[in-house]
Amino acid sequence: MSIPLFLGLAVTFSCAWTVFAYPGIAAARGWPTGALLIRPFSWLQAIAYCGILGAPAIAWRLGTWRFALAVVAVAFFFVPALLTAFGPRCQVIIGLGLIAGTTTSVLMLL
């Protein structure tokens, strides 16, 4: 597995995880939450579901179970760092990161 593909999968999984974690964290900290994150189901959440399931599955398929574990482990460090560094502005960053990570991963698979 190449480094750009691994990073694309890690960014996809991290941003997808943040899409689902942000509304709860934002409510606890008093941050605003965008409509795409609080709807019962939006296109951003649909991409996030695919990213949460697809990124480790692709990493496992192209490498071994260690690559899938590494994708998840990177997210454990990236998500809290993203939320701490950018605060409420991370809503825009996770949307762009999810789209960029998914696009990068798909293009690297072709």
Question: In this predicted model, what pLDDT tens digit does every residue of 83-95 receive, in sequence order?
Answer: 999 999 999 999 8
Which residues span the domain enclosing 54? 3-109
Number of domains in the chain: 1
Q: What is the pTM of this model?
A: 0.88
Distances (CA, A) of 68 to 23, 62, 105, 109: 26, 9, 14, 16
47/63: higher pLDDT? 47
* Of 83, 68, 70, 64, the residue nearest 17 (C-alpha): 83
- Confirm if 16 and 88 have CB atoms less than 8 A apart: no
Give the pLDDT band (50/70/90) at residue 15: very high
State residue 41's pLDDT score. Answer: 86
* Cα angle for residues 55, 18, 79 (degrees, 5° grid): 90
- Confirm if 19 and 48 have CB atoms less than 8 A apart: yes
State residue 73's pLDDT score. Answer: 94
Average pLDDT over residues 30-34: 91
State residue 64's pLDDT score. Answer: 84
